[in-house]
């Protein structure tokens, strides 16, 4: 089967129809993205509800061992909440790169090419 200009034109028109595979793939990708966002928001809501519950438990607790376990759970939930909310994880501050001294310590210039014009 040879591909003629008429056949190519017909196939191009078909590819732009709403039931074409390309269109269906785009719709599927959009639906998956919306489902992922919905799931992330639902999970974020549950994590925040757990954080509120843990805060209330911490206020009423006196046992050091139980306080330690509650704080550990609180820390894990705070990390998950930050990740789900799209915030960057806090970490050490990157040290500034050392700057060249303005008073000296200059490197010698690179050697010139010994190419003679010919």
DSSP for 28-89, written as a single string: HHHHHHHHHHHHHHHHHHHHHHHHHHHHHHHHH---HHHHHHHHHHHHHHHHHHHHHHTPPP
Whether pLDDT at 73 is above 70: yes
Q: What is the tens place of the pLDDT at every residue in 53-65?
A: 999 999 998 999 9
Contact partners, residue 17, CB within 8 Å, separation at least 6 = 23
Q: 45 falls in which pLDDT band (50, 70, 90)?
A: very high
Are 50 and 70 a contacting pair, CB within 8 Å?
A: no
- Can you give the pLDDT at residue 20? 61
Q: What is the tens place of the pLDDT at every residue in 81-107?
A: 988 888 877 666 666 666 655 556 666
Are 57 and 70 a contacting pair, CB within 8 Å?
A: yes
Token digits for 98?
């050392």
Whether pLDDT at 31 is above 90: no
- Can you give the pLDDT at residue 30? 81
- Can you give the pLDDT at residue 35? 87
Average pLDDT over residues 18-22: 64
């Amino acid at each position: 089967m040879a591909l003629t200009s008429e056949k190519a034109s017909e196939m191009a028109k078909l590819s732009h129809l709403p039931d074409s595979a390309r269109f269906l793939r785009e719709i599927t990708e959009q639906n998956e993205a919306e489902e992922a966002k919905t799931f992330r928001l639902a999970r974020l809501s549950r994590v925040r509800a757990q954080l509120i519950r843990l805060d209330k438990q911490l206020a009423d607790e006196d046992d050091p061992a139980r306080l330690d376990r509650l704080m550990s759970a609180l820390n894990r939930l705070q990390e998950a909440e930050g990740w789900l909310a799209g915030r960057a994880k806090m970490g050490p501050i990157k040290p500034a790169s050392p700057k060249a001294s303005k008073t000296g310590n200059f490197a010698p210039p690179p050697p010139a090419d010994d190419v003679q014009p010919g």
